[in-house]
Structure 1
Amino acid sequence: MAAAGEVAFRRVAGRWEVAEVSNQSTGYCPDPECRPSVAAALDRAGVARPDRFTHEIVFRRCTGCDELNIVREGDFVCVFCDADLPAAGA
Structure 2
Amino acid sequence: MREVLSAGEMSFREESGRWVVEEVSNQSTGYCPDVSSWPAVAEAPDRIGIHHPSGFTHEVVFRRCRSCQELSIVWEENFVCVFCGEDLPRKRNVGEPG
- Fold match, TM over 0.5? yes
- Establish whether residue 82 from structure 1 lines up as the match of residue 81 from structure 2: no
Task: Give structure 1 stretches of 5+ with no counterpart.
Answer: none
Residues 33-52 of structure 1 correspond to what in structure 2 (within 5 A)? Answer: 33-52=36-55
- Establish whether residue 21 from structure 1 lines up as the match of residue 9 from structure 2: no
Amino acid at match of 2:42: A
What TM-score do the two structures reach when normalised by structure 1?
0.94
Deviations 1:26-73 (A, max 9, x none): 100001000111111210121100011110000001111111100011
What TM-score do the two structures reach when normalised by structure 2?
0.87
Aligned length: 90
1:73 alignment partner in structure 2: 76
SS at match of 1:63: coil
* 4+ aligned runs moved over 6 Å, structure 1: none
Aligned-residue CA RMSD (Å)? 1.1
Residues 3-14 of structure 1 correspond to what in structure 2 (within 5 A)? Answer: 3-14=6-17
SS at match of 1:39: helix
Task: Give structure 2 stretches of 5+ with no counterpart.
Answer: none
Alpha-carbon distance in 1 for matches of 2:10, 2:49: 15
